[in-house]
Structure 1
Amino acid sequence: MDYKLVIRTAVLAGELMLLSGAETYRVEDTMNHILKTAHTKTAEALVFRTGILATIDNPDIEPVTMMRRVKNSGTNLNRIMQVNDISRKYCAGEMPLKEAYERLGGIQKKQYKTGIYNLATLIIPAGFAPLFGGQMPEILLSAAMGALLALIITVGKRWNVNGFILDTVSSFMVAAAVFLLGAKISGVDLDIVIISAIMPLVPGVAITNAVRDILQGDYMSGNARVLEAFLTAAGIAIGAGAGMWIAGVIIAGGVR
């Protein structure tokens, strides 16, 4: 048994799942199943919000330990599904270890092109507008704000802007643009447009995963996710509020 390859496979699977936004307990469960195929006395995986630690030990071998730092996580349910499928087939004996490692390595960290992400960012606000009671004017303006949001996010990621700063700036720009355009367009509910436009930024999945981690007893990772979601929501609120205030000042002709 190639113990090093087993632990590399487990860590790679865990890294891909964390990068895709999987819950901590789910990552640990997947890694432990892979590690147990080594049939050693000790096979443990410890997963945090930003890192992975795995070890294999047996009386007749030298302990094998691997640690991996994980940054810039997002949400990709399809990638989580692919990792789960590969790990289950390997653990069931339907796939050799080397093939499982190679197939995990072949899973792309970025599944779609930037244009597809931008198109989705444009469509999401337009889709939320009617859910909030918006009519065609609100839908069209929300789609336009979605295009602006996609542009800001693309530029921000290209410049490696911090996620919190990017969310704050994005909500600021969108809110200010909605107010400035709304001043020239009559009959448009600006509240609906602003809420719809910032929906792609709302950390809904992060909050859900945080609650699930806490319920599973992973308090450290759960609290870290809660804090991350809270900071993201706070940044969005601060940016949107500042954008509306500054746009209102501009429309009113300056501070008096």
Structure 2
Amino acid sequence: MQAGDILLENGAEIFRVEETMERICRYYGIESGNSFVLSNGIFTTAGNEREEIFAKVQHIPVSGTHLDRVAAVNQLSREIEAGSVDLEEVKRRLKEIRVMPGKSKTMQIVASGVGSACFCYLFGGNLRDSGAAFLTGILLYLYVIFISAPRLSKIVGNIGGGALVTFACTTFYLLKIGEHLNYMIIGSIMPLIPGVPFTNAIRDIADGDYISGSVRMLDALLVFFSIAIGVGMVFGVIHQLIGGTLL
């Protein structure tokens, strides 16, 4: 149950959570274990005339993606099947994985800038556009880490992020730092895009987990719409102030 909780909380697919829990149960001799996994909850039962009765429901809020924790639980499940760790070691490792630190704030900010610049260049921008996107990406993740994540809801935070990117890129464009506003905005906004949840949603639906896939898809689409609202709001205000077209 702890392994499934960590996997689901950190962005693993539904089939991965179910398969990992099944493998662990099978190794420890639990033949009657059954798990029903949704995108934000796990229902587990076990027990017959040979095994102690067990039932638990665990609520898991939809949160971010930490693939290093998912990979760590996957590796641990392989070691369990290989018989190379005992039960106490498994408990200790799971506690360590749950509190495994993510990337530092500095690394996240720099990665956002580099990713924004690379995406801008990939989509057709030149080096000047990529430079502007780099600065915008850094500014965006400063906002995400210190304002949006700790203080704002997902909807308001993403609306603000889309607005901030559009305002910053437009400012750089008007100052002649960048030459193609559309490529600058597209590249700079990529750190906000929920690519892994959207991909997992499609994979869950393809695997027949329609409820979980639909919830994840709705969550990803909500982020898309929020970003679009923020971009549209800033363009509307700029159009009212200076008129004409920027793109």
The normalised TM-score by structure 1 is: 0.88
- Paired residues of 2:172 and 2:178 also in contact (CA < 8 A): no
Match of 2:173 among 178, 182, 192: 182
| Mapped pair 1:245 → 2:208 | no
CA distance in 1, matches of 2:236, 2:133: 20
CA positional deviation for 1:194: 0.3
Question: Residue 33 of structure 2 aligns to a residue in which SS?
Answer: strand
Q: Choose from 102, 117, 125 the match for 2:92.
A: 102
> Which residue of 77, 87, 111 corresponds with 1:120?
111
Q: Which residue among 44, 60, 81 is the counterpart of 1:70? A: 60
CA distance in 2: counterparts of 1:72 and 1:247, whole angstroms: 35
Task: Tell me the equivalent position of 1:163.
Answer: 154
Aligned residues with identical type, % of pairs: 33
1:103-162 per-position Cα deviation (integer Å, ceiling 9, x unaligned): 111013432222211111111101111101111210110011101101110123553421
Structure-2 residue corresponding to 1:19: 9
1:84 aligned to which of 74, 82, 91: 74
Structure 1: gaps spanning 5 or more residues = 1-10
Per-residue deviation, 1:248: 2.9
CA distance in 2, matches of 1:60, 1:24: 29
Q: Would you say the 8 A contact 1:35–1:44 is kept in 2?
A: no
Counterpart residue type for residue 81 of structure 1? A
1:183–1:251 CA contact under 8 A, matched in 2: no
Matched residue, 2:138: 147
SS of the equivalent of 1:67 reads: strand
User: CA separation in 2, counterparts of 1:170 and 1:66?
Assistant: 39
Contact in 1 for aligned 2:30/2:51 (Cα 8 Å): no
Which amino acid is the alignment partner of residue 13 of structure 2?
A: E
1:210 matched to 2:223? The reply is no
Deviations along 1:225-252, whole A, 9 cap, x unmatched?
Answer: 1111111111111111112222333334
After superposition, the C-alpha distances for 1:170-210 in whole angstroms (9 at most, x for unaligned) are 01111022223322217610000000010111122212111
Structure 2 unaligned runs (5+)?
Answer: none
- The aligned amino acid for 2:82 is A
Counterparts of 1:17-56 in structure 2, within 5 Å, are 17-56=7-46
When normalised by structure 2's length, the TM-score is 0.91
Q: Write out per-residue CA displacement over residues 210-235 of structure 1, whole angstroms, 9 at most, x where no aligned residue.
A: 11111111110011111111111111
Give the Cα–Cα distance (whole angstroms) in 2 for the partners of residues 113 and 68 of structure 1: 29
**Equivalents in 2 of 1:18, 1:118: separation in Å?**
26
**Does 1:132 pair with 2:113?**
no
From 231, 242, 253, give the equivalent of 2:222. Answer: 231
Q: Is residue 214–residue 223 contact of structure 1 (8 Å, CA) maintained in 2?
A: yes
Return the letter of the residue paired with 1:118: I
The one-letter code sitting in structure 2 at the alignment partner of 1:14 is G
